[in-house]
Structure 1
Amino acid sequence: MSRTSRKSRTSRTGRRSRTRRTTPLLAGLAAAGLCAALLSPGEAAGDVPPAPGWTLQWSDDFNGPARSLPSAANWQVDTGHNYPGGPANWGTGEIQNYTSSPDNLSLDGSGNLRITPLRDGAGNWTSARVETRRADFKAPAGGTLAIEGRIQMPNVTGEQALGYWPAFWALGAPYRGNYWNWPGIGEFDVMENVNGINSVWGVLHCGVSPGGPCNETSGIGASRACPGASCQSAFHTYRFEWDRSTNPNALRWYVDGQLFHSVDQNRVGADAWNAMTGHAGYFVLLNVAMGGAFPNGVAGRSTPVAATVPGRSMAVDYVAVWTRGGGGGDPGTPSALHLRQGGTLGPAAGSASAATLASAGGANHDGAPHTPATFTATGVDGTYNGGSTQFDVLADAGTAVGNGQQARVSYDRTGDGSWERTETYQYFATDPVPGYERYTQASGLTSATGSHGTMTGGTVRVEVWNAIGNAPSTIGTGNQSVVRIPFG
């Protein structure tokens, strides 16, 4: 079922390494998502497992001190009962209030993220929901995307579990800032569970609601019992694949490497398929709801009830996103270029990193790069598609007041050192609260010179600097900030 949300900023957390427990046998099975079945039920697996033949695009293995929040570079925390201006109760009738309290959301110090529903003395429920800052997870043309997590559902069953609704899922990027375009933008439910039943549901939502090609609001789904130990008593690996290497393109759902659901594009039709796959990509979510349409639909009652027990956590060992084949592993290649350490633009690195922008020193550098952080891609080929530059830069000035970051994107169509197109965007005034904010092309152009045309061995350059302020700033790199160029 659809669930919809609000973000709040979280503080950055420290990270420490864990001992990898991967054996040669596990390494050979990792690509099929079989690692969890071979690990003891309650333990964290360590690092994200290797996946031979796949390129790791993004991951989080939730290392960090107990009771710390998940990495703010990777995740944003949704709070309250809805997105601002979005459907009430997340669009599903669920009753909990999402918070950023470590009582509801925190690392456990043993390599897991824990989302814990709680009930207060007045009977009010709280819980937590997070979503990746990145919203560009997409199968490359001719290749495959995999989204995988190793998760133990809340360990509660029977009447005490009524109302529990844990989920691991993905929403289409255009949902952000709109909140009323579901289900057309697409939703992939990698893992859903309800009321402590020993079963995993995989569901596709698309098209229109009610009805449509995906039978909304139910979606196209399938379920099965978890292999071996129950879903609630042990960790299992839940995996979703979007395969653009086959004809027709296909979506597949797995638990512990066992396929239990698939949908191909012919089943939903060209219009619905194109609407959910033709945009920038998806963001990934983790949450535990209480009550709502899915619990009611499965159990015939709108729970929780008086017997429902609070305090049972969903534990997440890791979440990872891989690609295989296609255009070099980068979604939408060559249109999606990530800002990377070392000053390059290209496919996302496998982990979050950061670059420092020098202080503007109290001067006004609006429109004129001042000791910028510069990122460059060379040898770029592509035909101009008539669109415009888009970017999503994560920026943070800490507690500094009055800082403003600015970006300039330049295109050299032949790589000969002449910039045929240069776009300078209005600076973005960051707030004095630690935590990344999103600087996008929506800030508007302050100037643009030249024109676009075919790129043949061309160069793309992105410069980011502090235009105003008296303190340095930080921007996210690696698998964080991205620029989408209008070429295909």
Structure 2
Amino acid sequence: MSDTSGTLRRRRRPLRRALVAVVSTLGLAAAAATVASPSANASAPTPPAGWTQVFLDDFNGAAGTGVSTANWRYDTGTSYPGGPANWGTGEVETMTDSTSNVSLDGAGNLRITPLRDAAGRWTSGRIESNRTDFQPPSGGKLRVEARIQMPNVTGTAAEGYWPAFWMLGAPYRGNYQNWPGVGELDIMENVQGRNTVWATMHCGTNPGGPCNETTGLGNSTACPGSTCQSAFHTYAMEWDRSASPEAIRFYVDGVNYHTVTASQVDAATWSNATNHGFFIILNVAMGGAFPDAFGGGLDADTRSGMPMTVDYVQVLSSSGGGTTPPPSGNRDAYGTVQAESYDTQSGTTTETTSDTGGGQNIGSLANGDWALYKGVDFGSTAARQFSARVASGAAAGVSGLVEVRLDSRTATPVGSFSIAGTGGWQSWRTVPANISAVTGTHDVYLTFTSGQPADFVNLNWFTFGH
């Protein structure tokens, strides 16, 4: 950060609860961990073939609690011990470890929230990974990614906001005077609430040098579909030692918009910047040289309390045979979205369907259950209809709602329909509903709400229309 995610059916969920209870009673810790592990990884995409997950934090935990200190350490104050003042960037906030500034939201997200007190002083949060060994194996690749919604603030209210997801070379830790020679990889930076993501590599000497410091080797692009501020996007860096020349590529939602290669600088500069591990940083700075370069920093109009929200951070490694993971989601809203193609879910099961076309459906859907489908592209012409293929063997008096929410499972539904018994769990019908106008690309949550605890619906597929 330089200065520039019939009977048998009704037994399924209670049986699962009973199994966990038995494991807990017997004190079989390893077995309990095995039962619980799928939910711990729920939001991050499964690594594709050829890739191994070497780090994950899904930020699951109780609302109002801090981050895992097994994974992260807090940076506090206005500088590293003995390091440049104001973190070397001219920012004005004081970083804290308070849960007012850095906390989990209870829904699987981290929130880093800048706050201004009555005297006009700003506090915010900055955390960095304990690990400093993130680098590709010889001849292999490393991918570092996070799904983030930038602070949802724009215009004059966003003046001075500087959220970032980035990495520093391991030799910087404890030295604090060897930047930029030890390397910096900015995977996501944003300022002033602009619909722009910047990616930059810093290296060489400052000022000037082979990497054009303090600007660095960078590029920027608009967030695809929805703006950076209004929705989650996946920001990633892929460092490729299997390529010749060695390359570092930057992505937003799977789109490669910036690449730096070893051929762009001399061999010594590249080696000094990359021949070691890196650590990861997440922070929201307030003020500083980068915001100043785009219209000025903090003033009386700047709004306090707008968080950067992080769904997950994941690091993947490949020995060389892995292909670039596909962008999360990438779905056509007007095609048929198969229900079992969810990115993550809670409370559902998957089973073979007897519906036309075969395949699978999701079932055991009851109050509080949900499924997430990332990256659904609605285009520029508003969708106003939703329809879904559903079946229900629910008993008389049992019914519920199938709801559509965008970008958060706690958002107000844009539409819904009610479903009761259809004559059986494989007795299918297509049910339409109107929705509020939707354009752009969104993460779609289907949520299931009922006044009764019993399962009330199966889902085979869904689609949207104009």
> Is residue 284 of structure 1 aligned with residue 280 of structure 2?
yes
Q: Deviations over 1:280-300 (max 9, x none)?
A: x0000000000001111232x
Aligned to 1:126: 123
Gaps of 5+ in 1: 4-14, 22-44, 329-488
Tell me how far apart the structure 2 counterparts of residues 327 and 19 of structure 1 sit (CA, whole Å). 26
> Following TM superposition, by how much is the alpha carbon of 1:110 offset from its aligned partner in structure 2, in angstroms?
0.3
**Candidates 218, 221, 225, aligned match of 1:221:** 218
Letter in 1 for 2:304: P
3-state SS, counterpart of residue 273 of structure 2: helix
* 1:178 equivalent in alignment to 2:175: yes
C-alpha deviation, 1:17, in angstroms: 5.8
CA distance in 2, matches of 1:95, 1:304: 9
1:312 and 2:306 matched: yes
Q: Which residue of 1 aligns with 2:203?
A: 206
Q: 2:362 aligns to what?
A: none
Match of 1:297 in 2: 293
Instruction: State the one-letter code of the partner of 1:223.
Output: S
Aligned equivalents of 1:327, 1:235: Cα separation in 2: 29
Q: Are the equivalent residues in 2 in contact too, given 1:240–1:253 (CA < 8 A)?
A: yes
Residue 146 of structure 1 pairs with residue 125 of structure 2: no
- 2:190 counterpart letter in structure 1: N
- CA separation in 2, counterparts of 1:146 and 1:298? 30
Paired letter, 2:314: A
Deviation, structure 1 residue 326: 4.5
TM-score (norm 1): 0.58
Taking the aligned partners of 1:324 and 1:110, their CA distance within structure 2 comes to: 30
Q: Give me the whole-angstrom Cα distance separating, in 2, the residues matched to 1:155 and 1:67.
A: 20
Alignment of 1:445-464 (within 5 A): none
Aligned to 1:156: 153
Q: Distance in 2 between matches of 1:18 and 1:69?
A: 21
Question: Once the two structures are superposed, what CA deviation does each residue of 1:144-200 show, in whole Å capped at 9, x if it has no partner?
Answer: 000000000000000000000000000000001100000000000000000000010
> Out of 80, 83, 100, which is 1:83 matched to?
80
In structure 1, what is the Cα distance between the partners aligned to 2:165 and 2:219? 15
Distance 2:226 2:72 in 1: 30
Distance of 1:150 and 1:186 partners within structure 2: 23
Aligned residue type for 1:289:
A
Alpha-carbon distance between aligned partners in 2 of 1:17 and 1:205, rounded to the nearest angstrom: 41
Describe the SS at the equivalent of 1:147: strand
Q: Secondary structure at the match of 1:174?
A: helix
Tell me which amino acid in the other structure corresponds to 2:303: V
2:2 maps to 1:2: yes
- The two structures have a TM-score, normalised by structure 2, of 0.61
Aligned mates of 1:80, 1:154 — CA distance in 2:
22
Does residue 259 of the first structure (1) align with residue 259 of the second (2)? no
In structure 1, which of residues 265, 270, 276 is the aligned counterpart of residue 267 of structure 2?
Answer: 270
Map 1:78-477; keep pairs closer than 5 Å.
78-279=75-276, 281-299=277-295, 301=296, 303-326=297-320
For 1:298, what is the secondary structure of its paired residue?
Answer: coil
Whole-Å separation in 1 of the counterparts to 2:321 and 2:74:
32
Tell me the residue number matched to 1:477: none
For 1:19 and 1:271, locate their aligned partners in 2 and report how far apart those are by CA, in whole Å: 44
Kept after mapping to 2: 8 A contact 1:18/1:63: no
Contact 1:69 1:105 survives alignment (8 Å): yes
* CA distance, structure 1, for counterparts of residue 172 and residue 299 of structure 2: 32
Shift of 1:268: 1.5
Cα 1:213–1:78 shift into 2, 3 Å: same
Number of residue-to-residue matches in the alignment: 291
Check if 1:64 corresponds to 2:61: yes
Render the CA deviation track for 1:214-256: whole Å, top value 9, x for unaligned.
1000111111110001000000000001100011000100000
Q: Alpha-carbon deviations, 1:111-148, whole Å to 9, x = none?
A: 00000000000100000000000000001100000000
Structure 2 spans left out of the alignment, 5+ residues: 4-32, 323-466
Which amino acid in 1 is paired with 2:268?
Answer: D
Letter in 1 for 2:302: T
Q: Percent identity, please.
A: 60
Q: State the alpha-carbon separation in 1 of the partners of residues 118 and 36 from structure 2.
A: 39
Find the aligned partners of 2:220 and 2:37 in 1 and give their Cα distance: 33
| Distance (whole Å) between structure 1 residues aligned to residue 309 and residue 206 of structure 2 | 32
Alignment RMSD: 2.0
Partners of 1:174 and 1:17 lie apart in 2 by 37
Cα deviation for residue 20 of structure 1 reads 5.9
Give distance in 2, aligned partners of 1:17 and 1:117. 33
Distance 1:286 1:237 in 2: 14
Check conservation: 1:18, 1:111, Cα contact below 8 A.
Answer: no
* 2:45 aligned to which of 49, 55, 77: 49
Deviation of 1:47 (Å) = 2.9
* Residue 271 (structure 1) shift: 1.0
Structure 1 residue matching 2:294: 3-state secondary structure: helix
Q: Structure 1 CA distance, aligned partners of 2:321 and 2:183?
A: 23
**Does the 8 Å contact 1:57/1:321 carry over to 2?**
yes
> Aligned partners of 1:291 and 1:126: how far apart in 2?
12
Give the C-alpha shift of residue 18 in structure 1. Answer: 8.9
